[in-house]
Amino acid sequence: MCGIVGYAGEKKTIPILIDGLKRLEYRGYDSAGLAVISKERRLEVRKSPGRVSELEATLKDMPETGNRIGIAHTRWATHGEPTKENAHPHIDCTGNIALVHNGIIENYEALRTYLEERGHTFISKTDTEVVAHLIEEFLKEKGTTFLDAFIKAIQHIKGSYAIVAISVLEPDTIYASHLSSPLVIGQGEGENFLASDASPFLGKASEVLYPPEDEVVVITKDEIKLFDLNKNKRDPVFEKLEGTLESIQKGSYSHFMLKEIHEQPERIRDAMRGRLLLREGDAKLGGLEPIWGDIVNAKRIIISACGTSWHAGLVGKYMLEEIARVHTDVEYASELRYRNPVFEKGDVLFVISQSGETADTLATLREAKSKGVTVAGIVNTVGSTIAREAGVGVYIHAGPEIGVASTKAFTSQVSILALITLAIGRAKYITQEKGVVIAEAMNALPEKVGRALGAEDEIKSIARDFKNSKNFLYLGRGANFPTALEGALKLKEISYIHAEGYPAAEMKHGPIALIDENMPVVFVAPQDGIYEKVLSNIEEVRARKGKVIAIANEGDDRIKSLADYIIRVPRTLGWLGPIVNVAPLQLLAYYLALERGCPIDQPRNLAKSVTVE
């Protein structure tokens, strides 16, 4: 859950590293640091707790002329507090080696004891520092090259890692390897890059390499070499770098989160483009064709994910069971991987991850594949580990999501699940006539989400009224129960207000004890098949003087006498409702956080890509 940047070239290294760190800061922002090798073959290291801007302020006296390579890191702390000593890069005892790492080294305590017995002195409390000292220790062996020592160190560690090292012994070369943690190589003209994802070299590199796990990449400004752990040379396979610099910039928006909320109509359209067949009333997902027979005939579909992606999967359960009539289980990946789950013949597992690198979700995928389960991925990031290892699946085409609190990825994920639902339903039960009705409703979703986002002024006013609230309750029924969960999660993530999401009918089985005149209660209350039941639940809150904020359909007059505040959204098919109804909940979280002065794009303790357990 850290961001790594590396550069080899003739340009000024430090500005390139800092720019790369800023583009990766959503991956971690507890501390930051960088290391370059000067023309005098001296290792120059700067580190700072806090944001990248705080590191940047320490660089005024750092020599720039002659630097040809450098590495940098922005950290989300796992082992050791976010202090200067624990920030990366870490160096060895000789001061010749600098190293950065993303992941967790599970056997670091044993390695540290081994190294301390051999005279090594440690400065930090991190797991990472042992790797720098391991390389130093192995370099003492006669005839050992840096590549030899780097490979031997990799072979001695257990856990997940992306490790990048430089040394004054080879001042023009960067060494890197990864396992269960992302690493991407960018190839330019007379310069080469590496990073945790491609964003640091968008607009700079033309091609990318996704190196295989447990292999070593050796990078200079002119060359990118690939070796296995036996030092056999491999042929790197490069791909065209997709994406634009504009896609990772805020433009006219004050925050990435606000930009990404407003991008949703177009991103939903992108998710469905070429896949939704209006005339046929059907959907076609080319990435699932190799296993489509297994999906259509599945006795059970299992969806596994974490966080917001789990909420999307829960919406998918309502869709798949109601429309496609297939039994569906939704599992937290962090729990499923440590159970002894019962997989049966005929099961199909979908794993969902925005980054495609989520450690728990990746582990679940591997466990299911090892037991012969048919697996598919639903991911956003092209070339990600889950995308590669699943082998089949669907890209959601949401574009880079920089804000730590996921927004457009959620609606794009649900849109893909809706396409899968329609396609299975058409293959089994749904007539073309009914399929056309569903397809037309799906095709109208981008416009309806755009209309829902038009309630921004009302939402700003609500945020001003409730900015000092300490608790919120979010309630919904049917497919809008996970919508309520997602609304509550967004509020917790970025405003630091405690919030809970519940099925509306469950409120009276406990949470109703919390309701008084100080408790704002957000109801997702569209005019669907259980609308009357939700109105009854609203009455229960009103009887206890709770403040009711209702997400209600345009033209719904009955809600006026029941709600203190109303946010209007267009009506759609009930099981598609979450795609529309979540938009104002995202805006409510955003504007409450804004009123409270919170760091919206980089909330405390969080990171975008959760690559550790």
CATH number for the domain harbouring residue 229: 3.60.20.10
Q: Examine the fold and report which residue of 443, 462, 495 is the final residue of a domain before the chain moves on.
A: 443
H or E stretch including 8?
strand 3-8
Report yes or no on 230 lying in a domain.
Answer: yes
Do 196 and 266 share a structural domain? no
Q: How far is CA 488 from CA 220, 295, 387, in A?
A: 47, 32, 29
Do 403 and 366 share a structural domain? yes
Active-site position among 2, 259, 408, 448? 2
Q: Examine the fold and report which residue of 385, 419, 443 is the final residue of a domain before the chain moves on.
A: 443
Do 221 and 203 share a structural domain? yes
Query: Contact at 8 Å (CB) between 146 and 170?
Result: yes
Query: Can you give the pLDDT at residue 181?
Result: 83
- pLDDT-derived band at 375 (thresholds 50, 70, 90) equals very high
Per the model's pLDDT, the better-predicted residue between 68 and 440 turns out to be: 440
Query: Residue 80 pLDDT > 80, yes or no?
Result: no
Comparing 162-166, 196-200, 219-223, 480-484, the range with the smallest average pLDDT is 196-200
Report yes or no on 557 lying in a domain.
Answer: yes
Rounded CA-CA distance 517/520 in Å is 8
DSSP state of 546: P
Rounded CA-CA distance 419/269 in Å is 12
In 3-state terms, what secondary structure has residue 330?
Answer: strand
Report yes or no on 268 lying in a domain.
Answer: yes
Report yes or no on 210 lying in a domain.
Answer: yes
Rounded CA-CA distance 65/425 in Å is 64
Query: Can you give the pLDDT at residue 8?
Result: 95
Report yes or no on 611 lying in a domain.
Answer: no
Query: Residue 474 pLDDT > 70, yes or no?
Result: yes
Query: Can you give the pLDDT at residue 424?
Result: 97
Rounded CA-CA distance 569/580 in Å is 7
Per the model's pLDDT, the better-predicted residue between 351 and 243 turns out to be: 351
Query: Can you give the pLDDT at residue 287?
Result: 93
Domain count, the chain: 3
Query: Contact at 8 Å (CB) between 414 and 305?
Result: no
State the amino acid at position 303 in one-letter form.
Answer: I
Report yes or no on 603 lying in a domain.
Answer: no
Do 239 and 262 share a structural domain? no
Report yes or no on 363 lying in a domain.
Answer: yes
Do 524 and 405 share a structural domain? no
Token pair for 536: 């009854």
pLDDT in tens, 156-197: 999 889 999 999 999 999 999 998 788 999 999 999 999 988
Query: Can you give the pLDDT at residue 366?
Result: 92
Q: Examine the fold and report which residue of 443, 472, 498 is the final residue of a domain before the chain moves on.
A: 443
The alpha helices in 157-291, defined as continuous H runs, are 256-262, 264-272
Task: Report the CATH number that the domain containing residue 591 is assigned in CATH.
Answer: 3.40.50.10490
Do 488 and 520 share a structural domain? yes
Q: How far is CA 538 from CA 261, 470, 508, in A?
A: 28, 21, 11
Query: Cβ neighbours of residue 567 under 8 Å, at least 6 residues apart?
Result: 455, 458, 459, 462, 549, 550, 551, 552, 584, 588
Rounded CA-CA distance 509/519 in Å is 17
CB-hemisphere CA count at 13 Å for 256?
Answer: 26
Active site residue 221: no
Do 150 and 35 share a structural domain? yes
Query: Can you give the pLDDT at residue 608?
Result: 52
CB-hemisphere CA count at 13 Å for 84?
Answer: 7
Query: Residue 40 pLDDT > 70, yes or no?
Result: yes
DSSP state of 376: E
H or E stretch including 568?
strand 565-569
Q: Which domain holds residue 574?
A: 453-597
Query: Residue 296 pLDDT > 70, yes or no?
Result: yes
Do 161 and 204 share a structural domain? yes
Comparing 17-31, 289-303, 404-418, 451-465, the range with the smallest average pLDDT is 17-31
Do 307 and 203 share a structural domain? no
- pLDDT-derived band at 64 (thresholds 50, 70, 90) equals low
Active-site position among 47, 259, 547, 608? 608
Q: What is the pLDDT of the chain when averaged over all its residues?
A: 91
Query: Residue 609 pLDDT > 70, yes or no?
Result: no
Report yes or no on 281 lying in a domain.
Answer: yes
Query: Cβ neighbours of residue 396 under 8 Å, at least 6 residues apart?
Result: 271, 378, 379, 380, 409, 412, 413, 415, 416
Query: Residue 50 pLDDT > 70, yes or no?
Result: yes
Rounded CA-CA distance 489/606 in Å is 13
Do 113 and 91 share a structural domain? yes
Do 461 and 419 share a structural domain? no
Active site residue 2: yes
Do 331 and 295 share a structural domain? yes
Rounded CA-CA distance 195/328 in Å is 37
pLDDT in tens, 241-276: 876 666 677 778 899 999 999 999 999 999 999 999
Residue given tokens 């927004």 in the structure block: 407
Q: How far is CA 604 from CA 103, 123, 408, 496, in A?
A: 19, 26, 21, 9
